[in-house]
Amino acid sequence: MKLNADSLPRHLEGQLLPVYLVSGDEPLIAGEAADAVRACARERGFTEREVLHMDRGADWDAARAAVGTLSLFAARRLIEVRLPTGKPGVGGGRALTAIAAGLTPDTLLLILTGRLDREAQGAEWVRAVEARGAWVAVWPIAAERMVPWLEGRCRRLGLVADRDALEVLADRTQGNLLAAQQELEKLKLLHGSERITAARILAGSSDSARFNVGELTEALVAGNPGRALRILAGLRAEGGEPPLVLWATVRAMHELWTRAAGSEAGSRGRGSRPSFARLTARAVRVDALAKGRTRGDPWDELALLACELCGKAPLPMSAARLE
């Protein structure tokens, strides 16, 4: 059986299956899904809980033995297997398949893992979970769904918020659901049942947007310097690596090269476009800065490169001396 985070609560009202797999990279939603299974298990008499951390090189024979061991303290047990990579390996996959198939009515299995890639989704152990229980796949909230998601969270908390206030909060926390939830809880504490306005959001919330390098490439190709610089700032604050960011920027350069050479050349309507030779020189300088062969800040140079890619007036490159 396949479920999602929205359908899980209603499902648990009617039944509790022997095994649940919760996968996904959204810690807030995945955590809430796991909590819902745990709460339902407690209500059904699964009063003992054992957690198994199965990292790379873990002893799967020991895990199988732990699941098969009778409890000395409670009639029913919840066995929680935490699988960070989503890839247990051949031995781990076989162990999970056997465990899922051999569960007794007094043992409930909860498997927690990150996002499963296409190969992992088709693994035998995942199919075994679906056959005996349910797989709850947690996916990121798309940008266009962020405001409705916030509206639902407000209803849960008893908050009344203006639409423009939620749009501001969505913009400031896009991609970071945990930060958005924390901001709403803080607003509840500060303002109670008072209406939440955009001014209150701006006054009280921090910018907690979470970006990735793919979004940077999209912003550069779209010619949006404001968004590109904001993403760069977010990546820098999150401890991003300049070489990876440069790679995403070069991807945008290649796409623009392809467009310029084909029928779409000039279709975006930018102002003066810098020469690709100049862009390449700027990218080479970023690479040298990132590798410590030139003095300076690679993030500053990445910002200048982003502006030039978006068609903004270029700044002169300072003479670089390789160390």
pLDDT at residue number 271:
44
- The DSSP H or E segment spanning 307 is helix 298-309
Q: pLDDT category, 262, cuts 50, 70, 90? A: low
Q: Is the same domain home to 119 and 50?
A: yes
Who has greater pLDDT, 206 or 154? 154
Q: Is the same domain home to 234 and 185?
A: no
Judged against a pLDDT cut of 70, whether residue 122 lies above it is answered with: yes
3-class state of residue 46 by DSSP: coil
* Residue 323 counted as domain residue: no
User: 137, 155, 177: which is the final residue of a domain?
Assistant: 137
* Residue 29 counted as domain residue: yes
Q: Is the same domain home to 154 and 264?
A: no
Q: Minimum mean pLDDT among 56-60, 90-94, 239-243: which range?
A: 56-60
Q: Is the same domain home to 167 and 188?
A: yes
Who has greater pLDDT, 81 or 86? 81
Q: How many CB atoms lie within 10 A of CB 294?
A: 20
Q: Is the same domain home to 32 and 118?
A: yes
pLDDT at residue number 70:
61
For residue 242, which phi and psi values (nearest 5 degrees)?
-55, -40
Mean pLDDT estimate for the chain: 83
Judged against a pLDDT cut of 50, whether residue 265 lies above it is answered with: no
Q: Is the same domain home to 131 and 24?
A: yes
Q: Which residues, in sequence order, are CB contacts of 321 under 8 Å at separation 6+?
A: 294, 295
Q: Is the same domain home to 245 and 156?
A: no
Contact between residue 305 and residue 279 where contact means Cβ atoms under 8 Å apart: yes
Task: List pLDDT tens digits, range 170-185.
Answer: 887 877 888 888 888 8
For residue 73, which phi and psi values (nearest 5 degrees)?
-115, -20
CATH at residue 43: 3.40.50.300
Full residue range of the structural domain in which residue 296 is found: 213-309
Structurally, the chain folds into a number of domains equal to 3
Would you say the pTM of this structure is higher than 0.85? no
